[in-house]
Amino acid sequence: DRETGMKNCVDALKKITPVAEKAGVTLQMELLNSKVDHADYMCDNSTWGVELVKRVGSDNFKLLYDIYHMQIMEGDIIRTIQNNHQYFGHYHTAGNPGRHELDNNQELLYPPIAKAIADTGYDGYFAHEFLPVRDPIAGLRDAVAQCIV
């Protein structure tokens, strides 16, 4: 069940976060979808993931907020980022449906998402994790252009 899974994750992470703290490393648990790509994955929504971060209680443990996966699981991407950004350490992009380029064939509009992330003070990189259906370099170029604020 989800509470036992939470307890097991917290117990394991509390054993390894002191090592990360000493090394100056931030561990990340990626939020993935369990509807399409990762059946039975427990860290499949922001609420569960944020609770995990709170229970671990280390500044060196955060969530990797994968926008593609969270669009599938819960939508409401911008509000979720605004309300929970302090628990997110990194961001992944991809179009949905299909996990393809950030273009007009998918339901996510990345310029306002990137702006919302920048408005939180985040100044790190995005990882563009799409599966190209056209020229990959052109797709990457377009993705980068959409996410520069």
Catalytic residues: 30, 129
Q: How far apart are CA 149 and CA 31, in angstroms?
A: 24
**Residue 139: partners with Cβ closer than 8 Å, 6 or more residues away:** 100, 101, 102, 103, 130, 132
**Residue 70: partners with Cβ closer than 8 Å, 6 or more residues away:** 31, 33, 45, 46, 77, 80
